[in-house]
Structures are given as structure tokens and as C-alpha cells.
Amino acid sequence: MKVYNSLSRKIENFKALEQGKVTMYTCGPTVYNYVHIGNLRTFIFYDTVKRALKLNDYKVKHVMNITDVDDKTIKGAIERRMSLKEYTELYANYFLEDLNKLNVDMDTKFTKATDNIDEMQKIIVKLVKEGYAYEADDGVYFNVSKFKDYGKLSGMKVDGSYSRIKNDDYDKENASDFALWKYWDANDGEAYWKGELKKGRPGWHIECSAMSMKYLGKTIDIHCGAVDLIFPHHENEIAQSESYSKQKFVNYWLHAEHLLVNGQKMSKSLNNFYTLKDLEGQGFNPLSFRLMAIDSHYRNKLDFNFENLRKYEKLLAKIDLSIKALNKVEKYEEKEDNYSRVQTKQKVEKVIELFKEAVNNDLNTHEALQHFLSLLDLADEKTKKGKIDNNEFSVLSTAISKANDVLGIYIDYKIPEEIIALAEEREQKRREKQFIEADLLREKISENGYSIADLTGTFVITKKYLD
Ligand SMILES: [Zn+2]
Ligand SMILES: [Zn+2]
């Protein structure tokens, strides 16, 4: 498997620390608001990395943090007159809901920053003791000039001029000594901890270092984030962690590019700021967004607009229909291998090989999706004939589900009994040539959120998608 490592700025062959196992840390959300679709693109990217590793038979130990204490969460909680815990749990739950709707593999350990304060303090105390960090009036700071490799990820130079920054996020032009621990002031309200350090709270960067090392070890295989985290967040994570452990922090750094809306950066002021709820509110299936995300390469900017999303909604409907039709079509048993059987098997094997190649080529999901769709074309050819040999069916459906294990764009769902009953009644009316009644039944099915497609000799019910 080849991936682009931001640390070496090269495509590299992936090699795990321990054979067959991967440790992976992904920077999670700061839960001060709903996550937007730009964040969701990043989370879908994490999911794709994990699924690709699983395709290559790795056992993946994946940790994702939930940042529930930082400048933004504290400010938000105070403004809303909620406790920090109450406020952040609200948005953490929405976040997990979004991941579920996007069919993200939840085989992940989610951990909250506030559950790991002791580990953060332990690291900070050692950094101070060894001279990498120092105490100032308002907190404890990391001295970037003490870490000789500072800048190795982002290319940022430490020029020796003195500056110190307390904010979690800061300008991307200059290296500064950054806050590891911020002493309490009135703006922090109830958000403070004591212990080995003076009353205060952690800086954002130390949180990820502590959680990554605690749950996955001092050196891990993969750390993922969005490109805007390279500096300062990830550069700072490396500095703290490696000064603390004297070991390499991460072997492979993987970063996903931004999402734009109509070519512009998403922002509240431009009124082009969307959440998954906004897309759902316009009638879109969340998986259409997933499909859009995986159809672009993670290292390219993804330009979002609703016209485009509509295209993916249509494609999603087609995928759903093809898979359901393949499952529904009549099966028969051919006694022995015939030409069609051998040909299907060969074609499918070739497609799966190409699919895997695409995925392993720095996660070329755009190309992988094309191969997945060509499997569905093969399936459509068969279903159009009105029946399929059992053996060919199983070859095709195994391949489709293997590819879908990586792309995650199809989820099976149950059609309610009453909808099935209506559809059967409609089929009966059609046979009796009572077309007006049949159409009324189709409308009724549609009003209930389902649609019906007629195939050779049968019909298929799917969810209704936007036209
Ligand atoms: Zn990170
Ligand atoms: Zn992080």
C-alpha cells in the first residue's frame, strides 16, 4: 500500500511497526458547534484510510479524540450558560450521529480530552524538568528553540526572535512558543484542573500528544488530519511528544485537503457554511455526500455545490437499485461451468484486482469507485435477463460487498412490511391491467418515502432519492 507521507513529502510504501497491525490516531472534532461538511470530508477520509488498511488485512487500532476543552468550547459554554460538560456532550453526540449517517466504521476508540488530564500534566511536568518548557505569568509554554527538529513537518523555521502565544490556534506565518498549560483566569469559568500544575487547563496541542501516546504508544504508524492542522497543531504535537519520549512520534502523517463551496472557502460570513443537517433538510441522502467525497482524491480540494451533490444523489439511487435488483432477480442452478460462468468469474477477478490497485495507490478512491461501478454494470447485464446462475450471482455479490467494505457507499436497509404489501398489490393490479389503480398504489408508496422500479419479471423497492 502506497501513501503520501507529509513528513517526507513523498509517496511511500507503507510498512507497519508490527506486522499485520496498525496504530492510527486521527485528530477529532472540537465540539463547540455542529461539524460542517468540510470537517466531514476529513472524517470520511480517516474512514477510508482505515477501510483501506483493513482491505490489506491489517488489524487497525484507531483512536480519535474529542476536544471538549479549549478556547472555543469554553467560550461557547459560557455564552450559552451551560456547563462545559453539558455543552460539549451535546455537540459530541451530534458528531457521532453524523458519522453513523455517513456509514463511518465505528470500530474506533473515542476519547475525550477531559478524561486524560493527568497524562497531559505528567508530560508537561517532565518537559519543564528537562528544560523544554518554562513557566510564564499566565501558564507553561513550550520553548520551540529547544527542539532542534522544530519545523520538520511544516517547513516552518525558528528564527530565534522571541514570541509567545497563548491562543490554541494562531497565525500560520511564524513559529512561537505555545501554551502547554494555561493558568486559570476569569474567562475560563469552571474549566480548570489542579494536580501537579497550578490551577488551569491544557492547551489544545498537548491534548492530542497525550492521548496518542497513552492509548497507542510513544511511536505510532499513522496520524491523520486536515491540511490546516499541519501548522501549528501537528508541528507542535511532534515537538512536545518527541521531546518527552525521545522517540519518533509518528511514522506516516496523512493529510486531507480542504472542501470549498463554489470555489470559495466555507465561512459563516459568506453564508456558504453547511452541516449534514442542511443537506438532509434539502432532501439529500447523507451517503450522497460520502459518495461525492470519495469520488475526489483526498489530496485535491473538493469543490462542493448542490448541483454536483444532486449528481451523486442520482448515482446513489442507481447503486442502490442495481444491488437490490441483483439480490431480487430469479436465481437458477447451472449444472456445470459454462462460458458465461467462466467469463463472469474472470471479469470480476480482474475488476477486483484493479480496485485493490487503485485503493493501494495512495487511496485513489475516484478510480476505485469506477471499478465498483463496473461491477454493478456486470450485475445490471445479468438482472436485465430476468435470471442469473447462482454461481455467477455469488461471485458478483461477494465482489460488490468486498469493494463496498472499502467505499462504504451502500447500506442495506429493511423495507417495511406494509410497503411490500402495497407493492405486491400494485403488481397484481398491473397483471390484471388495472393501470389506474396500479398508479395510485405507486403514488401511495412514493408518499411513504419509497419508490418502485419494474424489472424483467419482477419489481424492486428502494428508498426514494431526490430526482
Ligand atoms: Zn492530529
Ligand atoms: Zn489533534
- Smallest-distance ligand from the CA of 210: 2
**Are β-strands 177-183 and 164-165 bridged in parallel, bridged antiparallel, or unpaired?**
parallel
pLDDT of 227 > 90? The answer is yes
pLDDT at res. 175: 86
Mean pLDDT over all residues of the chain?
95
Ligand 2 centroid vs 205 CA: distance in angstroms? 6
Outline where 7-161 has alpha helix (H): 37-55, 71-79, 84-101, 117-129
Ligand 1 centroid vs 208 CA: distance in angstroms? 7
pLDDT at res. 461: 98
Establish whether 157 is an annotated binding residue.
no
Where exactly are the structural domains of the chain? 2-256, 276-407, 417-463
User: Which pLDDT band holds residue 334 (cuts at 50, 70, 90)?
Assistant: confident
pLDDT of 385 > 80? The answer is yes
pLDDT of 366 > 90? The answer is yes
Question: How far is Cα 251 from Cα 339, in angstroms, rounded to an integer?
Answer: 49
Q: Are the C-beta atoms of 46 and 243 separated by less than 8 Å? A: no
pLDDT at res. 94: 97
Ligand 2 centroid vs 131 CA: distance in angstroms? 24
pLDDT of 302 > 70? The answer is yes
- Smallest-distance ligand from the CA of 46: 1
Residue 289 CB contacts under 8 Å (≥ 6 apart), including other chains: 37, 40, 102, 276, 279, 309, 312
Between 456 and 45, residue with greater pLDDT: 45
Q: Are the C-beta atoms of 370 and 296 separated by less than 8 Å? A: no
Establish whether 233 is an annotated binding residue.
yes
Ligand 2 centroid vs 167 CA: distance in angstroms? 15
- Smallest-distance ligand from the CA of 230: 1
Question: How far is Cα 240 from Cα 218, in angstroms, rounded to an integer?
Answer: 12
Between 325 and 267, residue with greater pLDDT: 325
Ligand 1 centroid vs 25 CA: distance in angstroms? 7
Average pLDDT rounded to a whole number, residues 333-338: 86
**Are β-strands 133-136 and 164-165 bridged in parallel, bridged antiparallel, or unpaired?**
unpaired
Establish whether 268 is an annotated binding residue.
yes
User: Which pLDDT band holds residue 281 (cuts at 50, 70, 90)?
Assistant: very high
pLDDT at res. 161: 64
Give the CA count within 13 Å in the CB-facing half-sphere of 396. Answer: 29
Ligand 1 centroid vs 57 CA: distance in angstroms? 24
- Per the DSSP assignment, residues forming a β-bridge with 24 are 62, 222
Question: How far is Cα 198 from Cα 194, in angstroms, rounded to an integer?
Answer: 6
Establish whether 224 is an annotated binding residue.
no
Establish whether 237 is an annotated binding residue.
yes
Give me the phi and psi of 426, to 5 degrees please: -60, -45
Average pLDDT rounded to a whole number, residues 427-452: 96
pLDDT at res. 269: 77
Ligand 1 centroid vs 110 CA: distance in angstroms? 14
Ligand 1 centroid vs 233 CA: distance in angstroms? 7
Ligand 2 centroid vs 39 CA: distance in angstroms? 13
Per CATH, is 276-407 categorized as 1.10.730.10?
yes
- Smallest-distance ligand from the CA of 225: 1
Burial class for 2, CB neighbours closer than 10 Å (0-12, 13-18, 19+): middle
Per CATH, is 2-256 categorized as 3.40.50.620?
yes
Ligand 1 centroid vs 218 CA: distance in angstroms? 14
pLDDT at res. 322: 98
pLDDT of 304 > 80? The answer is yes
- Smallest-distance ligand from the CA of 255: 1
Ligand 1 centroid vs 355 CA: distance in angstroms? 29
ipTM reported for the complex, 2 dp: 0.97
pLDDT of 162 > 90? The answer is no
User: Which pLDDT band holds residue 169 (cuts at 50, 70, 90)?
Assistant: confident
Name which of 249, 254, 246 is nearest 229 in CA terms. Answer: 254
3-state secondary structure at position 273:
coil
pLDDT of 63 > 90? The answer is yes
| Chain-centre distance for alpha carbon 285 | 16
User: Which pLDDT band holds residue 367 (cuts at 50, 70, 90)?
Assistant: very high
pLDDT of 198 > 80? The answer is yes
Question: How far is Cα 162 from Cα 85, in angstroms, rounded to an integer?
Answer: 36
**What's the grid cell of residue 406?**
472499502
Type and span of the H or E element at 110: strand 109-112
pLDDT of 26 > 80? The answer is yes
Percent of the chain, pLDDT > 70?
Answer: 99
Alpha-carbon radius of gyration of the chain: 26
Average pLDDT rounded to a whole number, residues 264-288: 92
pLDDT at res. 173: 72
DSSP class of residue 231?
A: I
Q: Are the C-beta atoms of 297 and 364 separated by less than 8 Å? A: yes
DSSP for 53-72, please give it.
HHHTT-EEEEEEEEB-SSHH
- Per the DSSP assignment, residues forming a β-bridge with 303 are 260
Average pLDDT rounded to a whole number, residues 228-251: 97
Ligand 1 centroid vs 112 CA: distance in angstroms? 14
Percent of the chain, pLDDT > 90?
Answer: 91
